[in-house]
Chain A
Amino acid sequence: MLDRLTEQIKEIIAEQLNLDSADITLDTRFKEDLDADSIDLAELAMTIEDKFRISTPENGNLPELITVRDVINYVKDYSAD
């Protein structure tokens, strides 16, 4: 189940950032390794929230996503599925 989730998230990240999902590991850092900026991370957060039915916090603040592992933990902790 977790492996499937990991693969799903890696594919989303790969599509969002125009990368090959094979190049993405759990410890890949968005800013340092993938050259992502704040707009990339905001888009990623909203895609993940839509896909996994996660409610946007009332204040609208973005989750702190530093590595791919952070995205997986975010989904595990907050997904309605």
Chain B
Amino acid sequence: MKIIIDAMGGDNAPGAMVEGAVIAAESLNANIVLVGKGEEILKSLRNLKIGDLPSGIEIADAPDVISMRDDPTAAIRSMKNSSMVVALNMLKDGGGDALLSAGSTGALLAGSTLILRRISGVRRAALAPIMPAAFSNAILIDCGANVDCSPEMLRQFAYMGGLYAKLVLGKSYPRIGLLNNGTEEGKGPELQRDTYRLLEEDDKNGKINFVGNIEARDIFDGAIDVIVSDGFSGNILLKTIEGMGMFTLKTLKSLLTGSKKVALAGLMLKDSFAEFKRDVDYTETGGAVLLGVTKPVIKAHGSSNGNAAFNAIRQAVTCARSGYVDAIAEMLRNRPNPDNFTNSESTTGD
């Protein structure tokens, strides 16, 4: 098992990725290739008091870096020696089993689609983050890759997300919900109403386990495994959850340091609060998987630290081992028309 890492992507590059790789090389049974500026990677290792390249880690030199300001498509096409393009080509050519990057989301989406290509029959690849553990490890699909969607695209997201939930998250019969502004049938704009009809029909035919519309507040009760959404609404949901988590932690910290008496109570609850922090902390949950391209690609948070990088590497290993890419390809091979799911066997509900 070999994980390719775009070491130069993210706010804390390459230090965060190097730190995550070192922890992963020690604790996971995986080899890691750090792609990026060799000297900077070695410097980051020295900062961790590591003189020699640890066993299981190698460096592939790539002198250029795609920045957040670069036009994604033009950058992928022109910056052939950038860490992201070198890493994607390495994955494409079989030099690894999965790729992780905390770099520009737009460039990673464009690069994955243009270099790795979509699985045959996939209309659009979608970004699917795992919600924090407190929210029962549901996945959200899509969280921002596709702002404009059709009902057929959302239907594909439901199927791809269902397979991922089954194979990677271990949900035997994934419960699929459609993000909407009310639970009743007929709620929401045309896109959600039409998608509801498609998913309901598939549920009646036993192809998926569609449980209906779901409101944003209800995703926290653990009743859903796959939250289907257009990328625009999904992105707002994800950012709201992140912001709310940070706000809650900040408020709790402030409350518990207000007086000596309260601080003492806080000390007594230290372990419980640490557990709560782990449950809502995005650095514990890994990244967002790009579903629909021909290889496993994980987008880590742009501000990932070493712990977030490690958890995203762990997720990449799990993804690569799960065989979800082949499962999606197999599902679509049984459906000559990618937008027509009406003549096939169940893939998420068996």
Contacts and interface: CB of A to CB of B under 8 A. Distances in A.
A42 B78 contact: no
Given A42-B114, A46-B114, A18 B338 contact: yes
Contacts of A61: 74, 77
Interface stretch (A6-14, A52-60, A66-74): A52-60
A26 interface: no
Contacts of B110: 39, 42
Interface residues of B, number: 17
B113 A60 contact: no
A39 B117 CA distance: 11
Contacts of B77: 46, 56-57, 60-62
A43 B113 CA distance: 8
A interface residue count range (under 10 / 10 to 19 / 20 to 34 / 35 or more): 10 to 19
A61 to B, nearest CB: 6
Contacts of A56: 77-78
Interface string B5-48: 00000000000000000000000000000000000000000000
A62 B73 contact: yes
B67 to A, nearest CB: 14
A37 B113 CA distance: 13
Interface string B199-236: 00000000000000000000000000000000000000
B272 to A, nearest CB: 46
B74 A59 contact: yes
Contacts of B76: 60
B139 interface: no
Interface string B70-85: 0101111111000000
Contacts of B73: 38, 42, 60, 62
A81 B77 CA distance: 21
B113 A39 contact: yes
Contacts of B71: 60
B278 interface: no
A37 B148 CA distance: 10
Contact of B75 (A38, A46, A60): A60
Contacts of B75: 60
Interface in A15-29: 18
Interface string B152-178: 000000000000000000000000000
B3 to A, nearest CB: 26
A74 to B, nearest CB: 15
Contacts of A39: 110, 113, 124
Interface in B55-105: 71, 73-79
A39 B73 CA distance: 9
B188 to A, nearest CB: 23
B114 A60 contact: no
30 contacts: A18-B121, A18-B337, A37-B148, A38-B73, A39-B110, A39-B113, A39-B124, A42-B73, A42-B110, A42-B114, A43-B113, A43-B114, A46-B77, A56-B77, A56-B78, A57-B77, A57-B78, A58-B78, A59-B74, A59-B78, A60-B71, A60-B74, A60-B75, A60-B77, A60-B79, A61-B74, A61-B77, A62-B73, A62-B74, A62-B77
Given A39-B110, A56-B78, A60-B78, 10 more contacts: A39-B124, A42-B113, A46-B77, A46-B114, A59-B78, A60-B75, A60-B76, A60-B77, A61-B77, A62-B74
Top 10 A-B residue pairs of the complex, sorted by shortest distance between their CB atoms: A60-B78, A60-B77, A60-B74, A56-B77, A42-B73, A46-B114, A61-B74, A59-B78, A39-B113, A42-B114
